[in-house]
Amino acid sequence: KRFYKRSAPDKMTEMLRIADEEISEEHFDHIVSNYQNTIQIGCLTATSCNDHMWEKYGNQHSGYCIEYDVSKDELLSHNMLPVIYEESGVDSSYTLFLGIFLEAVKQGKKRSLEENYRMYEDYYRRWAKLVYLPTFVKGRKWMCEEEYRLFLLPHFQSAIRMVKADEEMDANGCINLKAAVTAVHLGKNFNQNPNSRELLTKIKKTIEGRNISLYQRQMDGTEIEIV
């Protein structure tokens, strides 16, 4: 509205009517679908001592937790951000407007995306930073998760190089972080897991000779190292 009021005050009502028709439920459904289908998310937590996470994701403390040293993996150190916990959602109106504006200019001038990008590079960079912000915002009720998110796009320029998701992930959508593994933590109820013996054998075999520590959580919240 501020843009229309400044640029075309005599046509504001009509332009808002047209925008309202164009920015339909289908338009937002397309945006949601685009987020779901093109952004790959990996969710981690800040500490191995979070009882809430052990209960929710560690099968009531009977599973195990893998600890990573972020500095030892390029993807973790350059493509992972902490989740922000807010009472309300993200106001994406400026982001939406900027996207519509750039697309309108491109179509109006009959330019290719590359041509338009060269002319409006600063605006595209601003838009690109804003458009993924909702991926890192959750409600305050989730604060106890202390979440960090690793994200991958089909392709984007990171701080150090061009990153392409299909080159980083295997057929199952997994990425190789083995160089960053520093420890494995068994839950305090690990022995109650019906597969505990088989799991422990696999874990020990996997970490053998790799300078990875193995810990067992205790009922009082402390840990002991398993040699």
b/e for 92-124, b at 16 or more Cβ within 10 A?
eeebbbbbeebeeebeeeeeeeeebeeebeebb
Token pair belonging to 134? 């909702």
- What mean pLDDT do residues 214-226 have? 94
What are the distances in angstroms from CA 107 to CA 46, 59, 64, 93, 98?
Answer: 45, 52, 53, 21, 14
Token pair belonging to 117? 């990008």
213-217 and 181-186 as β-strands: parallel, antiparallel, unpaired? parallel
Average model confidence (pLDDT) for the chain?
89
The C-alpha angle with vertex 199 and arms to 207 and 227, in degrees rounded to 5, equals 45
Per-residue pLDDT, 55: 94
Give the sign of the dihedral formed by CA 63, CA 82, CA 43, CA 137.
positive
Taking only the tens place, the pLDDT of each residue in 137-191 is 999 999 999 999 998 988 887 778 888 999 999 988 899 999 999 999 999 999 9
Predicted TM-score (pTM) of this structure: 0.78
Per-residue pLDDT, 186: 97
Confidence category of residue 135, pLDDT binned at 50, 70, 90: confident
Taking only the tens place, the pLDDT of each residue in 19-75 is 777 778 888 898 889 888 888 999 999 999 999 999 999 999 999 999 999 999 999
- What mean pLDDT do residues 204-213 have? 95
Per-residue pLDDT, 143: 95
Confidence category of residue 99, pLDDT binned at 50, 70, 90: confident
Per-residue pLDDT, 3: 67
